[in-house]
Chains A and B, each alone.
Chain A
Amino acid sequence: MPFTPNIQAFCCHYTSQQTLAEGPEGLLADGFPKSVTIHRLACTGKLEVSTLLKAFEDGADGVYVAGCPADKCHNLMGSQRAAKRVGAIKKALAELGVEPERIAMYHLERGFHPDFVKVAQEMDERITTLGPSPFQGGTK
């Protein structure tokens, strides 16, 4: 049975402007994978580690964060903070014996950019290869 991953993307307002302008259909036409669900945030710096972990608990096979370029964050340090938190989760996933590549941080230009679609495709490909999340079933 082919595996369609469940990927949760957390993007800041600035890197995900394309989603608003093009809408879901426009994005799909650009090649944005169906497997990715976008959550828009004011700033990725506001993301809590627990929010990203919750995404895995809720069944995500992969999670990624897309924020501004590290040195050009609209909120100065926001995307750098997010990158640190993603790093902490990578370490925790490894400790639990789960592939750290299931979570990623991307620093993207603001506004319309082909990279916004590219990283989604990259995650889709990567998670499809890795297969379903080893975190299965069970709820709080």
Chain B
Amino acid sequence: MIIAERKPLNEIMDMVKDAKRILVLGCRGCVTICSAGGEREVEILASLIRLGKQKAGQEVTTIEATLVRQCDKEYIDSIDQWDGQYDAIVSMACGVGVNFIANLHPMAKVYPGVNTSSFGGSAEQGVWSEQCAGCGNCILHLTGGLCPVARCAKSLMNGPCGGSVDGRCEINKDVPCIWQSIHDKMVRIDNAAGLAAIAPIRDWSTSGHGGPRKTVRNDLTV
């Protein structure tokens, strides 16, 4: 899922410094699961915004709401119900939600309430780690299911950089060298030989370097 965390409060307070009526808008998708932008976090952020404004001696009213998703037009349309009732929206969805609101509400001032960081999973309660970078051309079948694009600091395609120590990446000893992990895994599944093949120079155009990516499913379009 998409992992995010709340932006520093002073950044948010600065975004909304001229707003007197703020719609704080959560999302019930990924950001609810990683406890960044669900209903509970909306309640907390709205309260903190009010306290920040009170401290500055400014008036503010907040509307607290949480949409099923902010990455679908249908759900974004439901923002219409608050038309005329807010000066700014603080979206606590991932960046997709903020973009969708900006796309569909050309006059709305919409601000990000969270930093969208990665695609990851819950390693343990309260800890999430990046697993995939959404590169658009998955090579996990060649690497024992472990991703060097997302999990190697240098996104190397042909084995380790030589900087790892005791199986740990040179950027940080808390990070496993994913190429060490890939090697160990390939030995365990009896496919170490597979690593001998040289991966060709990679075409990164699917990875965002070819411009914004678009997925069209003709079987689903109407």
Contacts and interface: CB of A to CB of B under 8 A. Distances in A.
B155 to A, nearest CB: 33
Nearest to B13: A96
B133 interface: no
A53 B48 contact: yes
Interface in A34-65: 48-50, 53-54, 56-57
B47 A57 contact: yes
Nearest to B51: A135
A97 interface: yes
A57 B40 contact: no
Nearest to A92: B48
B40 A50 contact: yes
A135 B55 contact: yes
A95 B14 CA distance: 12
Interface of B: 8-10, 13, 40, 43-44, 47-48, 50-55, 57-62
B50 A138 contact: yes
B51 A49 contact: no
26 contacts: A48-B40, A49-B40, A50-B44, A50-B47, A53-B44, A53-B48, A53-B51, A54-B47, A56-B51, A57-B51, A57-B54, A92-B9, A92-B48, A95-B10, A96-B48, A98-B51, A134-B55, A135-B51, A135-B54, A136-B54, A136-B55, A137-B57, A138-B53, A138-B54, A140-B50, A140-B61
Query: Taking each of A54, A95, A96, which has the highest tally of chain B beta carbons within 10 Å of its own beta carbon?
Result: A96
A98 B55 CA distance: 9
B51 to A, nearest CB: 5
A96 B52 contact: yes
Nearest to B126: A84
A75 to B, nearest CB: 17
A33 B43 CA distance: 31
Contacts of A137: 54, 57
Contacts of A138: 50, 53-54, 58-60
A92 B10 CA distance: 10
A95 B9 contact: yes
B75 to A, nearest CB: 24
A140 B54 contact: no
Nearest to A85: B44
A90 to B, nearest CB: 13
